[in-house]
Amino acid sequence: MNFPMTVAAIALAALMSPADAAALKESGDPLASARWGDMHQTVLAGAPVLFDPRVKVVAPSIAESPMQVPVTIDASELSGVREVVVFADFNPIVEVLRFFPEAAPAYLGFRIKLQQSSPVRAAVRTADGIWYVGGSWVNTTGGGCTAPAAGKAAPDWARTLNTVSGRQWNEGPNKGRLRLRILHPMDTGLVAGTPAFHLEEIRFTDADGTALMRVQTYEPVAENPVFTLNRGEGSAPVEVSGRDNNGNTFHSRITP
């Protein structure tokens, strides 16, 4: 057994209730999910893993709408973050998104679809090659991945496809924060007669071309996705560009 991983598990167990500590000892997973072993192999390829409280997954314990579950990932306390992958153990499409912090901190808020109650996890790969994992259980009525997109009922939905709106704050409690919304149905392909149609990539850059963050998005991201990130220092406009899996592209400038 890897010694640093054992020490981390012991330290984590000391902070838990007796029942949760027993689950960690039994499965290695503080959320005691029956699918953790599969997730470790399929999503993280069996790479070294440490469960770490510095990887924060903020989500409701009970989600009212399985099609719009708010999730915030905050791994900004870790240094040398290269990649963050977000996944839900019991979704039919497990991976939700990946993001690659560059000049921006490892922080991202968004909304997801859940098919049933599930752990929602973030795995953070740092320069040492280890995946640091955090997560939260979200309980929901289910069906979020197999429900049709509501916006496609509008006759002009295609005309507004990939329309971007956004805002950034340069003062007050939200200083350094950027939020944008992209109009897109984010079809999962799990509704009969409706193929998968979703955003694939979003890039955030400063006006001078400095890369802030790159986000790879998959089918379980919620319809008309909203993303929130911390750009860090600076007050210049932010350029946002991206594409979906049908080759449609967009570009927008978010000004202070």
Q: What is the mean pLDDT of residues 20-35?
A: 70
Q: What is the mean pLDDT of residues 127-139?
A: 95
Looking at the domain assignment, is residue 222 inside a domain? yes
pLDDT bracket for residue 255 (50, 70, 90): confident
The pLDDT value given to residue 249: 97
The per-residue pLDDT for range 37-59, each reduced to its tens digit, is 999 999 999 999 999 999 999 99
Looking at the domain assignment, is residue 183 inside a domain? yes
Looking at the domain assignment, is residue 21 inside a domain? no
Q: What is the mean pLDDT of residues 82-100?
A: 98
The pLDDT value given to residue 213: 97
Looking at the domain assignment, is residue 7 inside a domain? no
Q: Output the average pLDDT for the chain.
A: 90
Q: What is the mean pLDDT of residues 77-96?
A: 97
Where would I find the beta strands (DSSP E) of the chain? 49-51, 56-58, 62-63, 69-74, 81-88, 95-101, 107-112, 118-126, 131-140, 164-168, 177-182, 199-206, 211-217, 226-230, 238-244, 249-254
The per-residue pLDDT for range 192-218, each reduced to its tens digit, is 999 999 999 999 999 889 999 999 999
Looking at the domain assignment, is residue 22 inside a domain? no
- Asked whether residue 235 carries a pLDDT value surpassing 80, the answer given is no
Report the relative pairing of strands 62-63 and 56-58 from DSSP bridges: unpaired
Which string of b and e fits 24-58 if b means at least 16 CB within 10 Å?
beeeebbbbbeebeebbeebbeeeebbbbeebbbe
CATH of the domain at 212: 2.60.40.2470
Looking at the domain assignment, is residue 6 inside a domain? no
Looking at the domain assignment, is residue 227 inside a domain? yes
pLDDT bracket for residue 71 (50, 70, 90): very high
The pLDDT value given to residue 172: 87
pTM attached to this predicted model:
0.89
Q: What is the spatial distance between Cα 1 and Cα 177, in angstroms, rounded to a whole number?
A: 41
47 three-class SS: coil
The pLDDT value given to residue 19: 53
Q: What is the spatial distance between Cα 236 and Cα 119, in angstroms, rounded to a whole number?
A: 37
Domain tally, the chain: 1
Looking at the domain assignment, is residue 184 inside a domain? yes
Residue recorded with tokens 């950027």: 178
Q: What is the spatial distance between Cα 52 and Cα 100, in angstroms, rounded to a whole number?
A: 19
Q: What is the distance of C-alpha 18 from the center of its chain?
A: 30
Enclosing domain of residue 173: 31-254
Residue recorded with tokens 């956004």: 166
Number of residues assigned to the chain: 256
pLDDT bracket for residue 18 (50, 70, 90): low
pLDDT bracket for residue 153 (50, 70, 90): confident
